[in-house]
Structures are given as C-alpha cells and as structure tokens.
C-alpha cells in the first residue's frame, strides 16, 4: 500500500486475484474502511488473472469506499470487467 501524488491510497495488485488471495485483499479494504478512507486506486499493472472472488472484493470496495478507480488494467482484466457488466461500478482508467 502506498499513496499517489494526490495523497490517495494506492493498492498495487500482482499475480492472481482469486479465492486464495481475495480474503487478504478484503481484510486490507476493511481496514481502510475502518480508517475512514474515501478514495482508493487499485493498480492492476501486475495482475495477470482475476476470478469471481476477485471481482467480488473489488465490488465490495466500490460499494463501501466513496471513490474507487482501477488503473493499468490489462486487456484481459478489462474484458472480464466488461463481460460482467460492472464497468459502471468498477471505474477503469483509459488505456
């Protein structure tokens, strides 16, 4: 976890976001919510795979934090988000 130039929380995800790793990410998000975080940026540059568990955690974040953005998503991750119809909820930066 880090902050960007605007002071927003940045979570850099790497590898696979699936049922084996989604729980740890959700715990991190719950801690941010408890701290009153209102904006989170998920950097997906190194994320190679995401299943429904990963999507559920990102939707949880979007539903509980005021502003959630996804940056550096690969074309595969973009297609997953588009195919699920969640592109309005999970705001992707432009490629």
Strand pairing class (91-92; 67-71): parallel
Give the residue with greater pLDDT, 4 vs 74.
74
Question: Residue ranges of the domains in the chain?
Answer: 2-92
Which of 23, 25, 32 has the alpha carbon at shortest distance from 64?
A: 32
- pLDDT confidence tier of residue 95, bands split at 50, 70 and 90: low
- pLDDT confidence tier of residue 30, bands split at 50, 70 and 90: very high
Q: CB count, 10 Å around CB of 54?
A: 21
Query: pTM for the full model?
Result: 0.89
The reported pLDDT for the residue numbered 45 is: 95
CATH class of the domain defined by 2-92: alpha beta
Q: What is the pLDDT of residues 36-88, one digit of tens each?
A: 999 999 999 999 999 999 999 999 999 999 899 999 999 999 999 999 988 88
């Amino acid at each position: 976890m880090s902050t960007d130039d605007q002071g927003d929380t940045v979570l850099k995800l790497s590898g696979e976001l699936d049922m084996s790793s989604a729980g740890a990410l959700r715990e991190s998000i719950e801690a941010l919510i408890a701290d009153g975080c209102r904006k989170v940026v998920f950097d997906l540059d190194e994320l190679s795979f995401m299943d429904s568990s990963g999507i559920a955690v990102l939707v949880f974040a979007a539903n509980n934090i005021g502003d959630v953005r996804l940056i550096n998503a690969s074309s595969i991750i973009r297609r997953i988000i588009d195919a699920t119809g969640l592109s309005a909820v999970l705001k992707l930066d432009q490629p």
